[in-house]
Amino acid sequence: MNFLWPQTLWLMLVLPLLPAVYLWLLHRRGKPTLRLGSLGVVRAASSPQWRRHVPAVLFLSAIAVLLLATARPTARVTLPWARSTIMLAMDASLSMRVADVEPTRMVAAQQAAKAFLLELPRNIDVGIVTFAGNAQVAQQPTFDRPSLVGAIDAIQMQLGTAVGSAIVLCLAELFPDHGIDLEAMTLGPRPKARSLDERDKPPPKQITPVAPGSYDAAAIILLTDGRRTMGVDTLDAAKMAADRGVRIYVVGLGTVDGHLTAGAEMAIYLQLDEPTLREVARSTGGEYHHAGTVEELRSVYQQLGSRLQIQTRETELTSLLAVLGALLVVVAASLSLLWFGRIA
């Protein structure tokens, strides 16, 4: 447990004095004279002796809790899903038609992605980016699961593998006010004369890098079966994600050595670039998973679905402790009134 205002913990030093003051007050009062005409006093006198101390103990506990709350304590607490958006970046290169993952890599990836959507709570936005020679938004983040399923089923395979461009486009969807321009990053600066649509785009935003993995409002799940052949450098794109605190969970699909039946000259393009993909996951605070079969792919998506729904976050406990302290005061006062007819 940490404290945002640790200096106020000095107030806790008064706690040992409070029981001493309570005992002194009890001794000072002495034994009260009973009046037989008062049934309430008779009942109080005949009640168990421990009852007289219960309200005082509750009051003292309330004071201790409230003093602790003034220090604004924080703790890492496991919370239900706190992210609001997941971006699925799916490889649509021609190598996805290889059948080493039955029936094909693409069909297996589509089936696993749709099963993943069923695992997620309905209040989670999901967006889909597909990439081959370039990256495009197949579906903007939405709660509408049928639209997402339709976008997954409509994926068309093309030449090339622009892994880095897919990451950049996911970030552009997650941070529309950051002025992330994938076209400018890919083709270089454009002429000063721009169309009206381009003039509406916000200028690139200078950001202050944050700790990798510290952004809890979104995550990217990247599935690919090969290596980058064009587009933005993969590690440059991963650094953009890391600077914004966005985790990237990478799923490597297919064989690490490539599908040699396609020909020796093509094998290099069908190999997983595992060192780069692992570094993408590591640098962003995410995870890398390899799936060589359809069963492994389904298992990976199930693991990601369950893991991303629960997270541990540094949470301030002040309000919780304040409510607990107030509740103890109310209980103490209620018991005192019930047992003794007064608050004391």
pLDDT tens digits, one per residue of 275-331:
999 999 999 999 999 988 888 888 888 888 766 655 556 678 888 899 998 999 899
Residue 195 within any structural domain of the chain: no
| Same domain assignment for residues 32 and 167 | no
Residue 114: CATH number of its domain = 3.40.50.410
Query: Which of 236, 237, 244, 235 shows the shortest CA–CA distance to 212?
Result: 244
For residue 76 the two structure tokens come to 């890492």
Same domain, 52 and 169: no
Name the residue range of residue 70's domain: 2-77+316-340
Closest-CA residue to 249 (of 224, 227, 275, 271): 224
* 73-131 per-position pLDDT tens digit: 888 765 554 547 899 999 999 989 888 888 899 999 999 999 999 888 787 889 999 99
Angle between helices 294-308 and 105-119 (to 10 degrees): 30
- Based on the domain organization, do 62 and 153 belong to the same domain? no
pLDDT for the residue numbered 34: 47
8-state DSSP, 190 = P
Q: Does residue 208 share a domain with residue 72?
A: no
Element spanning 153, H or E: helix 145-153
Compute how many other C-beta atoms are within 10 angstroms of the C-beta atom of residue 303. 13
Is residue 126 assigned to a domain?
A: yes
pLDDT given for residue 333 in this prediction = 87
103: number of Cβ within 10 Å: 10
Do residues 288 and 250 touch, judged by C-beta distance below 8 A? yes
Q: How is residue 28 written in tokens?
A: 């000072």
pTM above 0.75, yes or no: no
231 in the same domain as 122? yes
**Segment among 52-56, 188-192, 319-323, 332-336 with least mean pLDDT:** 188-192
**Sign of the four-CA dihedral 250, 252, 257, 261:** negative
Closest CA to 141 of 87, 96, 103, 73: 87
Task: Tell whether omega for the bond before 202 is within 30 degrees of 0, i.e. cis.
Answer: no
Asked whether residue 44 carries a pLDDT value surpassing 70, the answer given is no
The better pLDDT of the pair 264, 15 is held by: 15
Are 324 and 57 in contact by the 8 Å Cβ rule? The answer is: no
Whether residue 192 has pLDDT greater than 80: no
Residue 206 lies in a domain: yes
Give the pLDDT score at 186.
84
135-142 and 125-131: which strand pairing?
A: antiparallel
In-domain check, residue 193: no
Which residues, listed in sequence order, are joined to residue 88 by a DSSP beta bridge?
A: 128, 221
| Same domain (yes/no): 16, 147 | no
